[in-house]
Amino acid sequence: MAGRSNGHTNLRRRGISSWLIPAMVLGLGLWAPITVTWAQRPLPRLTLDTEPLPPELKERTSLAPVVKKAAPSVVTIYTTRTVRGTDWAHPFLDDPWFRRFFGDRFRRERLPREFQARGLGSGVIVSEDGYILTNFHVVEQADEIRVRLADGKTEYQAEVIGADPHTDVAVLKIPGRGLPAMVIADSDQLEVGDLVLALGNPFGVGQTVTMGIVSAVGRGELGLTDYEDFIQTDAPINVGNSGGALVDVRGRLVGINTAIVSGGGGSVGVGFAVPINMARLVMERLLTEGRIRRGYLGIYLRRLTPELSRELDLPDTSGALVGGVAPGTPAEAAGLREGDLVLEFNGRTVRDARHLRLMASQSQPGTEATLKVWRNGQVRTVRLTLGELPDSEAVAESVPPPETGPWEDLEWAPLDPQTRREREIPDYIQGVLVLRVPARSPAAQAGLRPGDVLLQVNGRRVRTPEEAQRALEEAAGPEVRLRVWRREGNRSGTQVLVVPTQPRTR
């Protein structure tokens, strides 16, 4: 029995051993080099052509020469600003239910909070001695501005020479000589379909070039700035591209990239650039006069619809319809009347009311202007001397305020120190507090809430309740864009609400 038992045990051991050996071999096979299990294959025969493209062909088929010409002029702008606000030591200690049971024994006073907010944008060197064009919103409220050249190494401290928030243009200056300045084109010559490149530093990844076409010119009523004449492009523009260059196929500057329309923060092919002609005019006036002086007619303008054109027996819907004349203004002195249709301004065809206001604002106060006006079936010539538009009336050439409208019964409050403390609104947020929004009003349906801070109306900044009410009443168009700041829990930020000012037809 013992022998059988030992024999059986040996067989089992031999069986186990015989099973283990192949397994170990298999394991070795798994860990052996590839050459053991795979036969080498011959390399495929490849057709190689390592010669560079001939220069004449490359000029016709590649945009590399254009990029090489333009890229050195595009810089990255880094900004730093000090943000001051208030915060609780712990938000739970200010919870109403907590205080109901424990009172204020665990509650500590608000602690001052200060931190450095950093921003990123782009800019374009336009002169060899260091003048740079960028967007106003890139350098707004910055305590420190650093400019890094395209080589990725050279940095300068930059000085803000001047800025115009009404067009979102700013002029910087860095020390230096012989800097790579970009050649400036005439943006009025751009046409829909022209090929363009956008250069900048999106998301801080480094200088990037994207390509597209001019989708539209003279784009306005976007609510981005007070004076809009944007170039629209489908060249991808992203965060960090603001202030960068829009160039033509000869590497010449045609626009300053400014904004995008996007549902998720990235490019969806709808980008906007300030035409270089407008940006250059702003720069020249800031350098020569230290401020922007704008021409002023003194008229209210109405939106000219096909229905209104037929009602007034006008030739078509182009031109700017005078809805009223302000007393004591150049328009009154020249004899302009309500119902006049302005067809030309200084020999240039007037597309619409926004276009006339833009052309008048770009003219120097004190200069003469010649208008072609349609009145009672005849074209008349009206000459006048432009006045100067006060800064507080930056959008005064607009539709006169209606007796009632979507803004009726809205209530506002200034952002005084106590309000800021109670609602935890940082000092850098400048606007007015929304106190009351009537239920079922257009503003409420668009998402405006009590507690929001209204920052802009159609790109026009508001700082007091009076400014907010006036900006809303003077806003032209079938809809108005409101930029608001909102706090939701521990998160805060800005967003744009679109409020219809006229009933929508179906």
Question: Has 168 been annotated as catalytic?
Answer: yes
CA-based angle 456:459:460, to the nearest 5? Answer: 65
- Torsional sign, CA 413, 418, 423, 427: positive
Q: Which of 425, 330, 410, 400 is nearest to 371 (CA)?
A: 330
Helix, strand, coil share of the chain (percent; to 5): 25, 30, 40
Q: Which of 177, 77, 180, 176 is nearest to 125 (CA)?
A: 180
Question: Has 137 been annotated as catalytic?
Answer: yes
The per-residue DSSP string of 170-226 comes to EEEE---SS--PPPB--GGG--TT-EEEEEE-GGGS--EEEEEEEEEEEE--SSS-S
- Residue 240 annotated as part of some ligand binding site: yes
- Residue 241 annotated as part of some ligand binding site: yes
- Residue 269 annotated as part of some ligand binding site: no
30 C-beta neighbours (distance < 10 Å), count: 8
What is the rounded distance in angstroms from the CA atom of residue 445 to the CA atom of residue 315? 38
The one catalytic residue among 73, 187, 215, 242:
242
Answer yes or no: are the C-beta atoms of 436 and 443 closer than 8 Å. no
Amino acid letter, 294: R
- Residue 277 annotated as part of some ligand binding site: no
* Stated length of the chain: 506
The one catalytic residue among 122, 166, 168, 398:
168
- Residue 271 annotated as part of some ligand binding site: no
The one catalytic residue among 73, 122, 137, 452:
137
Known binding positions: 137, 168, 240-242
Catalytic residues: 137, 168, 242
Q: Cite the annotated binding site for substrate by residue number.
A: 137, 168, 240-242
